[in-house]
Structure 1
Amino acid sequence: MIDMLKKNSTIAVIAPAGIPDMEQVQMGMALLRDWGYQVREGRHLRERFRYNAGTAAQRTEDLLWALSDPEIDAVWLARGGFGCIHCLAWLPDTLPKDRMVIGFSDATSLFGALHRKGHVRLVHGPTLENLATAIDDLSRQSLRALLTGEPRVPLIGTHIWGPAHEISAPVIGGNLTVFASIAGTASAMNAKGAIVVLEDVTELAFRMDRSVCQLLASGFFDGVKAIAFGEFVRCPVPPGSDFTVQEVLTDLLKPLGVPIIAGLGVGHGERNLSWRIGERGTLRDGSISLEKTS
């Protein structure tokens, strides 16, 4: 199974972006060991430099080690924040394409770069900092099912606009603001023919408006099959507004003429279900069913 991570596999834990809460990371690593995995820390996991987990050089060193060392089977990002983009220019084309990488949020830029290079096991799922205590049991079950190759719960949402017909297509997605920050670059993910899942955290409505406009202008949404909104956590509209963030984003994306669904349990809340970037899903009645991997 392409997504299966066998017991006793070795997982590298690195922090290519923000500074992780090491107490939470330690709890996450303990859980991985309970699941039957071996864990190795990146050399610079505990470093600090300004708002990042070490200098760009240190974080890049750990990332390249984790992605290339033959003794490593999977790479788990300790947290998001900001900083993966500092490392992207140093990623060679010769990295193993089947190494599992798990994370979300700022990992969107890393996933974009690796996806463009042909990597096939990029898992949009909880960071290790969140794994033990910050997500609900269903999210842990969803991720573990992906790791073991078992059937997963669907991404349940609600159809809010556009055609309501069934669609089967690859599922990609990530953080809206990070997608906008890499639009038009060599790390931009190819969304043509895909169902695109978007989520965000602590962004004002007008800033997300700006991000969607940037993505539209860059051509990111050209040829997409559907748009799916995850959670937009602590993303306020101005006080006294008679509109919601969801309405703002929907109005911007209506001209695409594709189905728009909302309410998926994906993002920075307690519910953060997992899927593999590019795996095939079926959109039906506002929800996305993920095909069992083989």
Structure 2
Amino acid sequence: MQRIAICAPATPLSREYAEQVTALASAEFPSLELVFHPQCYEQDGHFAGSDAVRAAALLECANDPSFDAVWFAKGGYGSNRIIDAFLEGAKPPAHEKTYLGYSDCGFLLGPFHRLGIGKAVHGPMPVDIGRDGGEAAVRRSLRWFTGDKSGLEQSLDDRPTLAFNLTTLVALLGHTHCPDFYQHVIIIEEVAEYLYALDRMMFAVTHDLHHCAGIRLGEVTAIPENDRPFGASAEEIVEDWCTRRGIPYLGRAQIGHTADNHIVPFTSLSD
């Protein structure tokens, strides 16, 4: 029996979603025990509890040797606000776990990978149960926890690979917690940003990622309508900036804020 701790490092999860995920896991994955931390349902303004409450819950889950993995319940915004507190309080058991999530949780996955804290994995979270077809997304992560690799992103090869929401990646660049991108394939995805904002972020990202092995584009969803057409698609924007900076554009990937979000374990040159 594997025990999976679930906490919310950014915004709160609804109890309804937690109940649906628990029921699915109980019915189809008897080898997994899901334990939702009560902090998942806390609310303090935008956040799932104060910074101190969220950091304490993450540390409680990570430092508990009875848990095999920590599954982030939901993204939103706020994970970056607790990373320093986590690093100060992380104990040896925290270094032995798998940490799975995406979007804003990249603020945790990136530093964990950089510092060798457990195994960082980009993949669906419990909140995805609320999407159309969301059960398939949740099953993908539950299968991963059991050792089933059928949900892996199909473009993965023997090159080290990292996956990030683009907004999160831009915020990490140049920070002491930013992972090393040298000779890594970088998979990016985005949600709810104007195309001109995507273009602006690619201007920044490609300046700092000139030494990576290439960029692959996941889903870009919920694009707001601007007052005039931008004149290029999301893929054309990404490909254009890769060309300008001499970075290989590697095509598309199945990750992002959709039910088709696939698993990307963070890997390094030493793996």
Report the TM range for the smaller structure's normalisation.
Answer: 0.7 to 0.9
Of structures 1 and 2, the one with the larger relative CO (CA 8 A, separation 6+) is: 1
Distance of 2:157 and 2:69 partners within structure 1 = 31
1:196 equivalent in structure 2: 186
Q: Partner residue of 1:147?
A: 145
| Aligned position for 1:290 | none
- Distance 1:16-1:61 versus aligned 2 partners, 3 A rule: same
1:243 is aligned to 2:232? yes
Distance apart, 1:30 and its partner CA: 2.3
Q: Which amino acid aligns with 1:179?
A: L
Partner residue of 2:175?
A: 185
Equivalent residue, structure 2, for 1:124: 122
Structure 2 unmatched ranges of 5 or more: none
TM-score by length of 1: 0.81
**Partner of residue 17, structure 1:** 10
- From 81, 84, 92, give the equivalent of 1:89: 84
| 1:31 partner letter | L
1:1-294 to 2 correspondences below 5 Å: 8-34=1-27, 35-36=29-30, 37-90=32-85, 91-92=87-88, 94-95=91-92, 96-131=94-129, 134-135=132-133, 139-140=137-138, 142-152=140-150, 155-156=153-154, 168-217=158-207, 219=208, 221-236=209-224, 238=226, 239-278=228-267
Paired with 2:10 and 2:139, the residues of 1 have a C-alpha distance of 26
Contact 1:18–1:79 (Cα < 8 Å) also in 2: yes
Structure 2 Cα separation of the partners of residues 101 and 130 of structure 1: 16
TM-score, normalised on structure 2? Answer: 0.87
Which range is displaced more, 170-179 or 238-247?
A: 238-247
Question: Percent of pairs identical after alignment?
Answer: 23
Structure 1 gaps of 5+ residues are: 1-7, 158-165, 281-292
Q: Using the alignment, how far apart are the partners of 2:55 and 2:153 within structure 1? A: 33
Report the Cα offset of residue 22 of structure 1.
2.2
CA offset at residue 76 of structure 1?
1.0
Residue 176 of structure 1: CA displacement?
A: 0.3
Question: Number of matched residues?
Answer: 264
Q: CA offsets, 1:127-177, max 9 Å, x none?
A: 1111475545664554344323334256357xxxxxxxx973111111000
Query: Tell me, what secondary structure is at the counterpart of 1:44?
Result: helix
Moved more, 221-230 or 232-241: 232-241
Whether the 8 Å contact between 1:236 and 1:245 is mirrored in structure 2 is: no
Pairwise CA RMSD of aligned residues?
2.5
Helix, strand or coil at the partner of 1:106: helix
- The structural deviation recorded for 1:112 is 1.0
Cα distance in 2 for partners of 1:13, 1:174 equals 20
Secondary structure in 1 aligned to 2:12? Answer: coil
The ranges of structure 1 where at least 4 consecutive aligned residues each deviate by more than 6 angstroms after the TM superposition are none
Q: Given that residues 71 and 100 in structure 2 are in contact (C-alpha distance below 8 angstroms), is that contact kept between their aligned partners in structure 1?
A: yes
Q: What do residues 3-26 of structure 1 show as CA deviations (whole Å, max 9, x unaligned)?
A: xxxxx2111111110122221122
